């Protein structure tokens, strides 16, 4: 049996060892680390707790105050900037609204929804100006999708200590809104319609061109996230949501949809969000986020001890469902299939798990995702052999974690 084989007998030994340790504590064989441990009665059981009216909007326990969005330190300014989701601290696949990653180009506008309007014009039969009440009258849908910034991370800056530092510009939520196709049908598309140019109501007036095929497929106009109205940081009161496409195309604070025959070639799709190739040319309109994964536990800054561990992490693909995730615990010499945790959804984060017993030998662990199209997440070397290292966007390479003899986990790129 290999050192990382977790067969049923091995699992029984793990449970038995845990039970024996607990029995030793109760028998006085080990000193309890805290007098609140059973069978003692802790102080929080000796008097009533806070009343139901003490928090009109629920907040996490004060003991979880350290789990916050990761805002880069030392920025020159915070208007055109981002904050990252603490992936290593989360379970499941849904990202709480307060921890959802952010990317802003002109700060966060304070929009009165009663005064906000969405204009639909251009190559349409009937131009429309819609209120939020008008939009909410259309049939609604709810879907779980991931959203990821295309610069997550860049090719020349694979630095940082935690999973959040490396790929924290990805999150996942249940989105509620109306199909963009439904609203466009209300306006009526001209036969020459090929693109829809979306514009946000922020100070940057961020503008992106969306292919008409995507608009008529699964694109949404969303006004709620995880059951509550969008937060200002996520585009309140209205945003576009383009499942599987790079995040900046899901324009926030949406105010205008201009139906056109050609793309706008705006700043955000010419000087930005294009992929520089080794010969000096640039790939443009690389909309789809390719298959990607990362181990979140154990991961950077964490420390493990020899013995049993469950390796877990997240995988996602803009092309559809995750078909499988493979994990290496020996620096890429061999790969094992991880279990996918249900639900496995289309264009959503998928959690994977693999039982592993670490023998204390220094090693490197990593994961690679395979989506339903058969695409396999590449190594960094394989990716840069084709794309070079001068690009900033669409780096979906395998993320390695190095484990030292003392159990400290660190960035495997360093």
Residue 207 confidence (pLDDT): 97
CATH code for the structural domain at 81-280 = 3.90.420.10
pTM over 0.85: yes
Strand partners, 81: 104
Residue 14 confidence (pLDDT): 54
Extract the tokens encoding 17.
């060892």
Residue 21 confidence (pLDDT): 42
Extract the tokens encoding 336.
């094992």
Class level of CATH domain 292-411 = mainly beta
Residue 19 confidence (pLDDT): 44
For the chain, domain boundaries: 81-280, 292-411
Q: Specify whether the CB–CB gap between 396 and 155 falls below 8 A.
A: no
Residue 29 confidence (pLDDT): 40
Please tell me the distance from the alpha carbon of residue 86 to that of residue 296, in angstroms, as a whole number: 10
Please tell me the distance from the alpha carbon of residue 168 to that of residue 352, in angstroms, as a whole number: 17
The one-character DSSP state at 237 is T
Strands 118-122 and 254-260: parallel
Q: Specify whether the CB–CB gap between 239 and 252 falls below 8 A.
A: yes
Residue 364 confidence (pLDDT): 98
Residue 30 confidence (pLDDT): 44
Judge whether 81-280 and 292-411 match in fold: no
User: 63-94 burial, b for 16+ CB within 10 Å, e for fewer?
Assistant: eeeeeebbeeeeeeeeeeebbbbbbbbbeebb
Please tell me the distance from the alpha carbon of residue 349 to that of residue 331, in angstroms, as a whole number: 25
Residue 108 confidence (pLDDT): 95
Element of type H or E holding 340: strand 339-340
Residue 36 confidence (pLDDT): 87
Please tell me the distance from the alpha carbon of residue 82 to that of residue 75, in angstroms, as a whole number: 10
List per-residue pLDDT tens for the chain, 414 residues long.
Answer: 344 444 455 555 555 554 444 444 334 444 445 788 899 999 988 999 888 888 889 989 999 999 999 998 877 777 888 999 999 999 999 999 999 999 999 999 999 999 999 999 999 999 999 999 999 999 999 999 999 999 998 887 578 899 999 999 999 999 999 999 999 999 999 999 999 999 999 999 999 999 999 999 999 999 999 999 999 999 999 999 999 999 999 999 999 999 999 999 999 999 889 988 888 888 889 999 999 999 999 999 999 999 999 999 999 999 999 999 999 999 999 999 999 999 999 999 999 999 999 999 999 999 999 999 999 999 999 999 999 888 889 999 999 999 999 999 999 987
Radius of gyration of the chain (CA): 24
């Amino acid at each position: 049996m290999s050192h990382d084989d977790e067969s049923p007998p091995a699992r029984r030994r793990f449970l038995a060892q845990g039970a024996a340790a607990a029995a030793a504590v109760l028998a006085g064989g080990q000193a309890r680390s805290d007098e609140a441990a059973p069978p003692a009665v802790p102080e929080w059981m000796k008097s009533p707790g806070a009343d139901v009216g003490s928090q009109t909007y629920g907040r996490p326990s004060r003991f979880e105050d350290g789990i916050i969005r990761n805002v880069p330190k030392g920025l020159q300014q915070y208007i055109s900037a981002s904050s990252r989701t603490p992936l290593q601290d989360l379970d499941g696949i849904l990202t709480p609204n307060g921890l959802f990653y952010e990317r802003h180009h002109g700060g966060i506008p304070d929009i009165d929804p009663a005064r906000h309007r969405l204009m639909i014009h251009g190559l349409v039969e009937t131009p429309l100006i819609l209120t939020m009440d008008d939009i909410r009258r259309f049939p609604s849908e709810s879907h779980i999708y991931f959203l990821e910034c295309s610069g997550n991370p860049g090719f020349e800056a694979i630095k940082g200590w935690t999973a959040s530092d490396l790929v924290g510009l990805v999150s996942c939520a249940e989105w509620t809104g109306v199909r963009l196709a439904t609203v466009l049908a209300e306006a009526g598309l001209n036969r020459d319609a090929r693109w829809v140019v979306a514009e946000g109501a922020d100070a940057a007036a961020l503008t992106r061109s969306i292919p008409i095929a995507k608009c008529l497929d699964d694109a949404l106009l969303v006004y709620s996230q995880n059951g509550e109205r969008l937060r200002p940081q996520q585009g309140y009161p209205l945003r576009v949501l383009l499942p599987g496409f790079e995040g900046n195309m899901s324009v926030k604070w949406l105010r205008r949809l201009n139906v056109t025959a050609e793309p706008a070639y705006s700043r955000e799709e010419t000087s930005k969000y294009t992929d520089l190739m080794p010969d000096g040319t640039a790939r443009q309109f690389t909309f789809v986020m390719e298959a990607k994964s990362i181990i979140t536990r154990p991961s950077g800054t964490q420390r493990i001890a020899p013995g049993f561990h469950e390796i877990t992490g997240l995988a996602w693909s803009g092309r559809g469902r995750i078909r499988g995730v493979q994990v290496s615990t020996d620096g890429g010499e061999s790969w094992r299939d991880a279990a996918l945790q249900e639900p496995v959804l289309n264009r959503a984060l998928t959690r994977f798990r693999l039982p592993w017993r670490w023998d204390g030998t220094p090693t490197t662990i990593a994961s690679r995702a395979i989506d339903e199209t058969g695409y396999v997440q590449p190594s960094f070397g394989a990716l840069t052999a084709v794309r070079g290292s001068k690009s900033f966007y669409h780096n979906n390479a395998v993320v390695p974690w190095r484990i030292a003899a003392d159990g400290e986990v660190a960035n495997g790129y360093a």
